[in-house]
Amino acid sequence: MPPLPRSFYLTDTVAVARELLGQVLVHESGEGRTAGVIVETEAYRGRTDAACHSCKLDAPRPGHRTEVMFRAGGCAYVYLIYGMYCCFNVVTGPEGVAEAVLIRALEPIEGLGVMRTRRGVEGERQLCSGPGKLCQALGITRGENGLDLTSGPLRILRGKSVPDSEIAVTPRINVDYAGADALLPYRFIVKDSHFLSTRKARAANRCPGPPDR
């Protein structure tokens, strides 16, 4: 499977979030190769999105965690939550836009033994069913922040396209602080996947087209 090309990431962020379902996230490290099929994503749409880290930012701030978000799409944005768990995001759009897609869950397909050791759990469903879990399972840390996803040890390979009939669209998870933006239909899931981060808000809405910016 070839890596997704740079052009894949340079289109509308919501469209990218939908199209990432079924693609394969791979990380190669000294402990081996681990990989999983993307089954849950969330779109974050830059300076006008109150749930996005780059909300109200017009330009990168040197040393700020969002600096990498202002790069051209196709690189990794990895940040910490609660001071201990990493979350892996795909930067999207042209340079200067500062948008991204959070990868929330994977169906593990390669390197499950390594994942079990890293996670300290045996159940396959528990290995990558959440943004922090999948980073731990695949060994993704802040050291991967800014890496090019079209080549190198951390990349996204072309998988299988998921038809609209198998996709549900819901509001994002745990962004209540964003007010009205918390209700935006920016979370995409493979409806029948056993590997989702949560069954919360699992409304089988029609898959929307890109919204107005």
Residue 38 domain flag? yes
Read off the pLDDT of residues 34-71 as tens digits, 9 standing for 90 and up.
999 999 999 999 999 999 999 999 998 888 889 999 99
Percent of the chain with pLDDT over 90: 88
pLDDT in tens, 105-114: 999 999 999 9
Whether pTM > 0.85 for this model: the answer is yes
In a domain, 41, yes or no: yes
Span 92-102, pLDDT tens digits: 999 999 999 99
Phi, psi of 104 (to 5 degrees): -95, -25
CATH number of the domain within which 102 lies: 3.10.300.10
pLDDT at 205 over 80: no
5 with 149: CB under 8 angstroms? no
Q: Is residue 148 part of a domain?
A: yes
**Residue 48, domain member (yes or no):** yes
Query: Is residue 208 scored above 80 in pLDDT?
Result: no
Q: Residue 134, SS3? A: helix
Residue 202 has pLDDT above 90, yes or no: no
Would residue 213 count as lying in a domain?
A: no
Contact residues for 97 (Cβ-Cβ < 8 A; gap 6+) = 46, 70, 73
Domain containing 68 equals 6-190
User: How many domains does the chain contain in total?
Assistant: 1
